[in-house]
């Protein structure tokens, strides 16, 4: 089965062709970073307009690179939730138009399902098979909009349970807000990651949020406030001091994410853990998750960078799984800002 996937939930316009085994035939991503960098964050109206400009060429390129025509694909998958509704509408309308014109099934995909299953994508030589996680596994999904731990018993929403999530900011949001405070441009995550590599985390003391071992919930807004207060007091550091502060901040975030993933894996008794979402591109997090897995005897599956940040290949694959189960949508498919995954963690101050 070949699926064309389209992604436009935030600030990346993507289209990809993927088969039901997760092999990536093409994966085209057009980033809008330059459009939003000026404003220090994503401007929804500008995102919608840029998706509208780019979606046609991006879909054509994805089909051309895969050397297929719309007539050759078995379904058209599109991110329909969650995300910026105006941005989602662009991809959803294009997918509907293509499905209607070609008579192919239309499959709406939850963006978070895409991130959760992105570990199954196979890039590069189709003959090279790297190990895939076995079900059940625990997944840490950490992106600009979401941060949560899930137990995944099978690749569909009814078999996925949230074990804990953030009570306030997402991890990527924290990276980006701190990047802004440190005048590192947008998005701050990759820049902090780079600077942290030459910094010494022990040079700066920061308190750890939601440090209780038993809690699988996260909190990052207090950490951001600690940094804001420090910067208001001492100004934005430069040179080595800047690298040390980035290292200390990243160390706290990574410690929280990897530490709770480890607690969840052992509590659930799973043999496999997975990371996904843009923050899973963080080198400190990738290394820490692998260290903890080796120390505690389970396997860590860390996808390549292109599978972590937003892309349409993960949407096409999640769409292939839905289509394989006989699930598809009508032309009344709506874009919405809510995920299909169950939410159990409340936002706001916790009592743990």
End-to-end C-alpha distance for the chain, whole angstroms: 47
Structure tokens at 129: 């098979």
- Rounded to a whole number of angstroms, the minimum distance from the CB of residue 117 to ligand KG4 is 14
168 class by beta-carbon count within 10 Å (0-12 exposed, 13-18 middle, 19+ buried): buried
Strand order in the sheet with 12-19: 24-31, 12-19, 2-7, 75-81, 106-110
Strand 299-301 and strand 2-7: pairing? unpaired
From residue 315, alpha-carbon distances to 4, 11, 107, 295, 311 in Å are 9, 15, 10, 33, 7
Number of residues near ligand KG4 (by CB under 6 A): 19
x/- track of binding to Zn ion for residues 127-156 (CB under 5 A): ----------------x-------------
To Zn ion, the closest distance from the beta carbon of 310 in angstroms equals 4
Q: Which residue of 5, 108, 164, 172 would you call a contact of ligand KG4, by CB under 6 A?
A: 172
Site for ligand KG4, residues 104 to 163, rule: CB under 6 A: 143-145
- Cβ 284 vs Cβ 193: under 8 Å: yes
Q: Is 14 in the site for ligand KG4 (CB under 6 A)?
A: no
Give which of Zn ion, ligand KG4, none residue 48 binds (C-beta under 5 to 8 Å, depending on kind).
none
Task: Quote the least distance from Cβ 180 to ligand KG4, whole Å.
Answer: 11
Q: Residue 112 binds which one of Zn ion, ligand KG4, none, with CB within 5 to 8 A depending on kind?
A: none
- Using the rule CB under 6 A, is 199 a contact of ligand KG4? no
d(CA 24, CA 266): 32
Residues that bind ligand KG4 (CB under 6 A): 10, 143-145, 172, 175-176, 187-190, 193, 277-279, 281-282, 309-310
Residues that bind Zn ion (CB under 5 A): 143, 310
């Amino acid at each position: 089965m070949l699926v064309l996937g389209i992604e436009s939930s935030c600030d990346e316009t993507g289209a990809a062709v993927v088969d039901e085994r997760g092999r990536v035939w093409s994966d085209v991503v057009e980033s809008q970073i330059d459009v939003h960098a000026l404003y220090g964050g994503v401007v929804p109206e500008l995102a919608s307009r840029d998706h509208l400009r780019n979606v046609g060429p991006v879909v054509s390129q994805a089909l051309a690179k895969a050397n297929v025509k719309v007539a050759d694909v078995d379904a058209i998958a599109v991110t329909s939730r969650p995300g910026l509704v105006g941005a989602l509408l662009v991809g959803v309308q294009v997918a509907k138009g293509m499905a209607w014109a070609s008579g192919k099934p239309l499959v709406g995909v939850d963006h978070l399902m895409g991130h959760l299953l992105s570990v199954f994508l196979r890039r590069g030589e189709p003959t090279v098979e790297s190990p895939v996680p076995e079900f059940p596994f625990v997944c840490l999904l950490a992106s600009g909009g979401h941060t949560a731990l899930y137990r995944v018993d099978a690749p569909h929403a009814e078999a996925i349970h949230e074990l804990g999530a953030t009570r306030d900011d997402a991890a990527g949001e924290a990276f980006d807000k701190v990047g802004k405070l440190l005048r590192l441009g947008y998005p701050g995550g990759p820049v902090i990651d780079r600077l942290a590599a030459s910094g010494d985390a022990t040079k700066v003391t920061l308190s750890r949020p939601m440090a209780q071992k038993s809690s699988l919930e996260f909190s990052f807004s207090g950490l951001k406030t600690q940094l804001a207060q420090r910067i208001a007091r001492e100004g934005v550091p430069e040179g080595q001091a800047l690298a040390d502060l980035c290292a200390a901040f990243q160390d706290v975030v990574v410690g929280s994410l990897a530490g709770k993933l480890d607690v969840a894996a052992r509590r659930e008794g799973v043999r496999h853990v997975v990371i996904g979402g843009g923050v899973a591109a963080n080198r400190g997090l990738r290394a820490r998750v692998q260290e903890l897995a080796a120390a505690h005897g389970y396997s860590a599956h860390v996808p390549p960078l292109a599978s972590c940040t937003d892309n349409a290949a993960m949407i096409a694959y999640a769409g292939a799984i839905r289509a394989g189960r006989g699930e598809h949508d009508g032309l009344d498919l709506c874009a919405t800002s809510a995920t299909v995954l169950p939410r159990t963690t409340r936002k706001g101050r916790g009592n743990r």
